[in-house]
């Protein structure tokens, strides 16, 4: 599982460089996220712009990362494809996570 991370405007942005977060990749995703967020700032944004499929294991891994970061840091999600957004809506995870249409929206909301 390839993850790319960088600090932008004091926020850790982690981009998933794969098209799927599924059962086969969930453990690698969680391990990669744990390493990437060890010394993260208070706010972490997960960029899913390249991801077009998330199954229940992938969703569980994302929730696991959120729990690992809490209560000191937040995990927000940006750039969901229509298919992935539907999974978040159907599972009501859109009520649990702060979702942003794109990274610009994420940064704009932080300033507001």
Could you list the residue range(s) of the whole structural domain that residue 88 is in?
3-111
d(Cα 105, Cα 5) in Å, to the nearest integer? 18
| pLDDT score, position 89 | 96
Whether 111 has a pLDDT exceeding 70, the answer reads no
User: Number of folded domains in the chain?
Assistant: 1
| pLDDT score, position 70 | 83
- How do residues 53-83 score in pLDDT, each as one tens digit? 999 999 999 999 999 998 889 999 999 999 9
C-alpha closest to that of 78 among 59, 98, 95: 98
Judge whether 68 and 98 are in contact, CB under 8 Å: no
C-alpha closest to that of 25 among 74, 77, 75, 60: 60
Q: Which residue has the higher pLDDT, 92 or 111?
A: 92
Confidence of residue 109 (pLDDT cuts 50, 70, 90): confident
| pLDDT score, position 112 | 46
- Peptide bond preceding 19: is omega within 30 degrees of 0, i.e. cis? no
Confidence of residue 110 (pLDDT cuts 50, 70, 90): low
Task: Report CA dihedral (15, 63, 89, 52) to the nearest 10 degrees.
Answer: 30
CATH of the domain at 87: 3.30.750.24
């Amino acid at each position: 599982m390839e993850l790319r991370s960088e600090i932008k405007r004091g926020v850790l942005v982690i981009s998933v460089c794969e098209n799927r977060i599924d059962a086969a990749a969930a453990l690698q995703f969680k391990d990669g996220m744990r390493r990437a967020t060890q010394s993260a700032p208070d706010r972490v944004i997960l960029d899913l712009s390249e991801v077009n499929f998330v199954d229940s294991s992938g969703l569980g891994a994302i929730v696991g990362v959120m729990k690992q970061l809490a209560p000191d840091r937040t995990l927000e999600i940006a750039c969901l494809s229509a298919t992935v957004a539907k999974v978040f809506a159907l599972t009501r995870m859109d009520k649990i996570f702060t979702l942003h249409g794109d990274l610009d929206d994420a940064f704009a909301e932080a300033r507001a």
